Amino acid sequence: MSTTVTLEHVRKALRGPLPGIAAQARLAAQYRLEQVLKGPPADARPAGVLILLYPRGGALHFPLTRRRDDLDLHKGQISLPGGAQEPGESLLDTALRETREEIGVAVDPSAVLGRLSAVYIPPSGFLITPYVAALSDRPDFQPTPDEVAELIEAPLSILLDPSIVRREVWTLHGMDVEIPFFQIGPHKVWGATAMVLSEFATVIGS
């Protein structure tokens, strides 16, 4: 499936109501759904992430990162650039700072198109707020080797292809659990990143 998604369409879509948990739950593992539906605890740690759109080969793309295998949290997983909020920052400031630190791209706040619904991550205790921004040209990525093992450039239109949504039984924490994920090339995008992208796919697909 190949569907063209324009920047103007994304702008308009982000002005409408967000589907929130109904769209996030489509890519949430069954064993996490109870926590997802219950909502975040009061002591959840705020964090910000960024979906950064840019043109490449005539179509909008966005970057994902494969985290290093020796990190303390979410090792080896596919993630959006982002991280924990620091004192004095807004969550948007956090998302932009982390994008600069992780993939070497400075994004002006004026490039931000909107935000999506927050997602709670029980293993790390983070409550992440995703933002969407757009650049007029493909940036010169400079991923930090301290955190990023690989930079992945994904076409935005792939999120509208239902065939990339897969399910497998994995063994996690000694349990066999069914995990939904996006198959983007050789990469399995699951967990909170998949939940964020699931809502974004719903928004731009409506």
Domains of the chain: 7-189 (3.90.79.10)
pLDDT at 10 over 60: yes
Name the band, by pLDDT with cuts 50, 70 and 90, for residue 174: confident
**What's the rounded mean pLDDT across residues 159-180?**
93
pLDDT in tens, 42-64: 999 999 999 999 999 999 999 99
Q: What is the DSSP string of 102-143?
A: HH-----GGGEEEE---EEETTTTEEEEEEEEE-SS------
* Confidence grade of residue 33 (pLDDT, cut at 50, 70, 90): confident
Return mean pLDDT, the chain: 93
Percentage of the chain beyond pLDDT 70 is: 96
CA distance 133 to 82: 13
Which bin fits 87, alpha (ψ -120 to 50), beta or left (φ > 0)? beta
Q: Nearest 5 degrees, angle CA 115-CA 49-CA 23?
A: 55
Q: Quickly state the pLDDT bin for 74 (edges 50, 70, 90).
A: low
Distance CA 49, CA 196 (A): 10
Q: Is the pLDDT of residue 3 over 80?
A: no
Instruction: Determine the distance from the C-alpha atom of residue 50 to the mean position of all C-alpha atoms in its chain, rounded to a whole number.
Output: 7
One-letter amino acid at 148 equals: V
Q: How far is CA 142 from CA 49, 106, 186, in A?
A: 17, 11, 22
Q: How far apart are CA 55 and CA 105, in angstroms?
A: 15
pLDDT of res. 1? 42
Radius of gyration of the chain (CA): 16
What's the pLDDT at 130? 98
pTM of the model: 0.94
Q: Residue 40 CA to chain centroid, in angstroms?
A: 18
> Which of 92, 83, 79, 62 has its CA nearest to residue 149?
79
124-156: pLDDT as tens digits: 899 999 999 999 999 999 999 998 999 999 999
Distance CA 153, CA 140 (A): 12
